[in-house]
Amino acid sequence: MRLGIFGGTFDPVHIGHLVAAQVALEQAGLDRVVFVPAGVNPLKVGKVISAGEHRLHMVELAVHDTPQFAVSDWEIKRPGPSFTVDTLEHFHEEHPAAELFFIIGADNLHILPKWRSVDRILELATVLAVTRPGFDLKTSTGTALALYPEVAKRVHYVEIPGLDISSTWIRERLAKNLSVEHLVPQKVIGYSEENKLYERIGD
d(CA 10, CA 171): 11
To ligand ATP, the closest distance from the beta carbon of 35 in angstroms equals: 9
Binding to ligand ATP (CB under 6 A): which residues in 113-172? 130, 132, 163, 165-168
Binding of ligand ATP at residue 98 (CB under 6 A)?
no
Q: Does 183 sit near ligand ATP (CB under 6 A)?
A: no
In the complex with ligand ATP, which residue's Cβ is closer, 57 or 93? 57
- When the beta carbons of 16 and 124 are compared against ligand ATP, the nearer one is 16
Which window, 3-11, 70-78, 146-154, 183-191, contacts ligand ATP (CB under 6 A)?
3-11
10 Å CB burial of residue 203 (0-12, 13-18, 19+) is: middle
99-105 and 125-130 beta bridge pairing: parallel
- The span from the CA of 99 to the CA of 122, in Å, is 12
81's CB contacts (< 8 A; 6+ apart) are: 38, 39, 40, 41, 44, 75
Q: Is 105 in the site for ligand ATP (CB under 6 A)?
A: yes
Residue 65 dihedral angles phi and psi, to the nearest 5°: -95, 5
Residues forming the site for ligand ATP (CB under 6 A): 8-11, 16-17, 20, 104-105, 107-108, 130, 132, 163, 165-168
